[in-house]
Chain A
Amino acid sequence: EAQVTQNPRYLITVTGKKLTVTCSQNMNHEYMSWYRQDPGLGLRQIYYSMNVEVTDKGDVPEGYKVSRKEKRNFPLILESPSPNQTSLYFCASRDYSYEQYFGPGTRLTVT
């Protein structure tokens, strides 16, 4: 089954404790993105990657890092999480058709 998977689905952590949210897709898509979703703000892009070893900042990249060492994986790293990064995070992938496929989401709470 074609899908985007994320782990973990839920995470509660404390300020400053480094964390990684994994994302993997099995559709051989070149393009992958990370979004955060906050009430009333819709989806905002954090980082995107157009291919292996090619990443670029989206609209809200501060406090986040990404890497793209393999085509299928695109982890999101929070080196020192803060409470304002409490949010619902989605990974997405697409090919050149612009039809994005989203993962199930990771709900992060930073206390």
Chain B
Amino acid sequence: GQQLNQSPQSMFIQEGEDVSMNCTSSSIFNTWLWYKQDPGEGPVLLIALYKAGELTSNGRLTAQFGITRKDSFLNISASIPSDVGIYFCAGQLNNDMRFGAGTRLTVKP
């Protein structure tokens, strides 16, 4: 099945910088989710979006559900070293969930 197009693949940033990553698809979804995976662990849900146009924040994280229902972005403001990890987007339509390949974030102190 078609996976999502997530970019960038990796990012190297300085502590304190803001980060932006996004996911696009040729298909529409009813739900967009963003996960973070730490080394040796399973993905952990960060933000869930349920409505086109929805903008949701969770601390320093902000995500939006694109108005076309085919894309979503995640912003991290004022990055800190513990933001390091792999971030995945996921789109859900009924019982079909698709994942992006992930964005690997490295934060230099």
Contacts and interface: CB of A to CB of B under 8 A. Distances in A.
A43 B99 contact: yes
Majority SS of interface residues in chain A?
A: strand
A90 interface: yes
Interface residues of B, number: 23
Contacts of A92: 42
Interface residues of A, number: 23
A70 interface: no
B21 interface: no
B48 A99 contact: yes
27 contacts: A4-B42, A31-B95, A33-B97, A42-B4, A42-B6, A43-B43, A43-B99, A45-B97, A59-B1, A90-B42, A90-B43, A92-B42, A97-B48, A98-B31, A98-B33, A98-B48, A98-B97, A99-B48, A100-B33, A100-B45, A100-B97, A102-B42, A102-B43, A103-B42, A104-B42, A105-B40, A105-B42
Interface of A: 4, 31, 33, 40-45, 48, 50, 59, 90, 92, 97-105
